[in-house]
Amino acid sequence: MAHTALGRSAWSPLTRYRRTLWLLTVRDLRVRYSTSALGYVWSILDPLVMAGIYWFVFTRVFERTVGEQPYIVFLLAALLPWMWFNGAVSDATRAYLRESKLIRSTKIPRTIWVARLVLSKGIEFIASLPVLALFAVFNGAVLHWEAVYFVLGIVLQAILTMGVGLIVAPLVVFFRDLERAVKLALRFLFYASPIIYGLSDLGKLGLETLAAFNPLAGIFSLYRAAFFPDQLNWSAVLIAALMSVILLAVGILVFARTERAVLKEI
């Protein structure tokens, strides 16, 4: 009963305050692009530049032995959702510190300050999908029926990102060095996740099973399945689903246990 009450007290406000969550998300997006002449372009420029660099290195400088053709589509199918995860978790480290005055002066459920980051970065990800579609068309990538799994990938990634955000956001308030540690961890996770390579490529090294315990591996395989069905790994997807739910539960627990202390600290 106590566990159920804990989950309700931390999670259910998001459903009761949907309008508030949406307004804060829209505010974030407007602030982010109001001072930018290019606006939407900046949200996709970073992953495009990164994809271009890796494409050039692996297809022009070295003989590519990972991924599938067209490699640029293979890259973008994982790189774009990675930008969502990376951006939301990075911003979560400053979620309570940056908005401290507003958080203290309002009665808005504090989970919303993390949820708005997940939602705004998720909207940016969805807005970048036409770019992936254009590259797929120009490079002759075939769209398969497995594209329906895109929705499942988005749901699992939202759960995973929310869980990690709820863990990171309050802890950074007490341990300020954790912000830098998170940035280092994300940098390591980028190369430890199947982005510039596929999960199946690790099978040659005997690391495929171990790598599948990275929840992003299963999620990225859902996205890639739209153009590369062979990349879909249901074992990794099941692990990703389980770990995403566990991390969300841990995040809710950490948030509930630290909320009062966070309010005093900020």
Q: How many helices (H) and strands (E) does the chain have?
A: 13, 0
Answer yes or no: is pLDDT of 2 > 50: no
State how far the Cα of 9 lies from the Cα of 54, in Å rounded to an integer: 44
pLDDT at res. 50: 77
pLDDT at res. 53: 80
Residue bearing the bigger pLDDT, 66 or 252: 252
Answer yes or no: is pLDDT of 16 > 70: no
Contact 153, 244 (CB under 8 A): no
Mean pLDDT of the 249-262 span: 87
Quickly list H helices, 93-177.
95-98, 100-105, 112-138, 149-174
pLDDT at res. 34: 66
Cα–Cα separations (whole angstroms), residue 184 to 162, 168, 177, 187: 19, 14, 11, 5
Mean pLDDT of the 46-54 span: 78
Residue 192 structure tokens? 């430890």
**Percent of the chain beyond pLDDT 90?**
44
Count of CB atoms situated within 10 Å of the CB of 181: 13
Which range of 6-10, 19-23, 68-72, 88-92 scores highest in mean pLDDT? It is 88-92
What's the mean per-residue pLDDT of the chain? 84
Dihedral, 82, 83, 86, 87 alpha carbons, nearest 10: -160
Mean pLDDT of the 59-65 span: 67
pLDDT at res. 62: 66
Confidence of residue 223 (pLDDT cuts 50, 70, 90): very high
Answer yes or no: is pLDDT of 221 > 50: yes
| pLDDT tens digits for range 135-164 | 999 988 899 999 999 999 999 999 999 999
pLDDT at res. 13: 58
Contact 162, 21 (CB under 8 A): no
Cα–Cα separations (whole angstroms), residue 237 to 214, 222, 259: 10, 8, 32
Residue bearing the bigger pLDDT, 92 or 205: 92
Mean pLDDT of the 26-40 span: 68
Confidence of residue 37 (pLDDT cuts 50, 70, 90): low
